[in-house]
Chain A
Amino acid sequence: MSVYLASILTNMALISFLALSAYLVLVVGEISFGQQAFFGIGAYVTATATVIFDAPVGLALLLSALCAGLAALLLAALTLRLSGLYFAIASLCFAELFRLSLLQIRLPLELDGRMTGPDGPEGFSNIRWIFDNNIEVVDFLSLTLACLGTLLMLLFVLERTQVMFCARLVGKDNILAQSVGVRPNLYRMCFICASGIVAGFGGALFALFNTHIEPQMFGVMLGVHALAYSIIGGLGAPIGPLIGVAIDIGLLESIRALSAYRMIVFGGLVAVLLIVFPEGLINPRFVNRVRNRTRPNV
């Protein structure tokens, strides 16, 4: 496999984490424009842990997921009474607050003659775990895919449970959910927290792979794309957001002839898909139809 292909696939897998995190929030009926912040928190925590504190990478990944999860929990707790548009704005503010704060954190360090550490807009350079351990792009791809595969499996198992049904119920009809004894805020908090964990984990891998991160990478557009992937892919199954990622990064960003027009084509594509499939390609109704076909009649 060529290095070019492997790095594109790795990028797709990394962004898939972000797309899945947006999916988890959409399932409970909220729209978040702030998932990129959790991705960024994961990236910065891993960078700090591996470079400055020399922590083992497993611990760094765990810590990243934990920190991003806690940040998401904080956001969920603060916005307990907000929903819809107001939640979307609050999440956007949260993400921008994070990004703009990063611009102010300047703690450059010199390690082994190389500049590293968070340095405001210059970013965090020389995250050398991948070089120090002689990890090829293909190896990193396998690692990322293994993590993504595990996550997908967990989500597929979750999809079959009552928990997911109740979460979708909360997202679709909050009043109905309450009337059957489902506690909406609990589901909302848990799913937003889980979305932070997922995004943080993806961000951690992103930092290791990119070896350089900077606040501008975690801007609004990243979050908007993550949302768009879930929306065009559909909310019926976790595979939906991945299809969105494949269309955008796999098709548009990677094919040279198209990449210059990526935003135009992608924007147009989103508009067309939303007209033809208002609930995305893999929408809940489609998933339920397939499920109906495959199950024995009662």
Chain B
Amino acid sequence: MFEFRNISIGFGGMNVLRDFSIQLHPGDRVGLTGGNGSGKSTLINIATGFLIPQNGQILLDGKLLTGMPAWQYAREGIRRSFQSVRLLPNVPLQDQFQAEVHDIKTLRSLLQETTLAKYLNQFPSEIPLPIQRKAEVVRALIANPRYLFLDEPCAGLTNAELTAFAGFLSNHVPVDCGLIVVEHRCDLIEMVANRLISLDSNAQGSQTSHA
């Protein structure tokens, strides 16, 4: 269980999150929504160790993570993607995954199944955006993440690409991995998530369930 306990953070006197608590479980499919500035990205940054909350705790199966550096979160199995694609510009696609200690067979079969195999020798600038987005998720998946946070993974994709991406997530994110998706486009969340967390303007998390 991945737990936010009474998290508060503000920037320059403006509270972004106040006394925010949620619990995520393995296998959860969570859609995270909210208006601009409601703290979605801040929440991901806190969850993955890139920001340290002013108050509150992050716990993974009861183990306190708050204050650890971001790379340690990653090693604990908390992975993320970024709003803008982050791949190494000078490295062909097949070498982008080297930072992970991974099983070559798993990677190959994953690449074959996700239509990434066609682009293995190409540099990110030569690869279409939907493929780049998938590559980022694949990079996280080969590390066997326990909780995966995706920050607007469908920004810039067409509706058809978005549907394909949703199918890709449903097929390839393991059932015991918690998936948390921040997205403005409700169709993705409807297709992927079974639980909705909305960060409304008064910075109190409100939860609703659907599907």
Contacts and interface: CB of A to CB of B under 8 A. Distances in A.
A172 interface: yes
B209 interface: no
A283 B91 CA distance: 11
A28 B24 CA distance: 36
Interface stretch (B3-11, B70-78, B174-182, B184-192): B70-78
B168 interface: no
B197 interface: no
A179 B86 CA distance: 10
A166 interface: yes
A175 B86 contact: yes
A292 B121 contact: yes
A48 B6 CA distance: 62
Contacts of A288: 90-92, 95, 123
Overall SS of chain A's interface? helix
Interface stretch (A92-100, A133-141, A180-188, A267-275): A180-188
B41 interface: no
Contact of A179 (B70, B92, B111): B70
A293 to B, nearest CB: 9
A156 interface: no
Nearest to B87: A176
A298 interface: yes
A292 B92 contact: yes
Interface in B86-122: 86, 88-92, 94-95, 98-101, 108, 111, 117, 120-121
Chief secondary structure at chain B's binding surface:
loop
B99 A298 contact: no
B99 A180 contact: yes
Given A284-B90, A284-B91, A177 B121 contact: no
Contacts of A298: 94, 108, 111, 117, 120
Contacts, number: 77
A284 B123 CA distance: 11
Contacts of B92: 288, 292
Interface string A140-172: 000000000000000000000010011011001
B99 A177 contact: yes
B29 interface: no
A165 B98 contact: yes
B50 A177 contact: no
A178 interface: yes
A179 B121 contact: no
A181 B95 contact: no
A285 B123 CA distance: 8
A175 B50 contact: yes
Nearest to B77: A181
Contact of B88 (A169, A175, A181, A183): A169
B88 A179 contact: no
A283 B208 CA distance: 52
Contacts of B99: 162, 165-166, 169, 177, 180-182
Interface in A181-197: 181-184
A54 interface: no
A182 B101 CA distance: 11
A298 B86 CA distance: 24
B141 to A, nearest CB: 12
Interface of A: 162, 165-166, 168-169, 172-173, 175-184, 279, 283-285, 288, 292, 297-298
Given A165-B99, A181-B74, 18 more contacts: A165-B98, A166-B98, A168-B88, A172-B88, A175-B86, A176-B82, A176-B88, A177-B71, A178-B69, A179-B86, A180-B143, A181-B71, A181-B100, A279-B90, A285-B89, A292-B92, A298-B94, A298-B111
Pairs of residues from A and B, 7 with the lowest C-beta to C-beta distance, nearest first = A181-B74, A284-B90, A178-B70, A165-B98, A285-B90, A181-B75, A176-B86
18 contacts: A165-B98, A168-B88, A172-B88, A172-B90, A173-B88, A176-B86, A177-B71, A178-B50, A178-B69, A179-B74, A179-B79, A179-B82, A180-B99, A180-B139, A181-B74, A279-B90, A288-B95, A298-B94
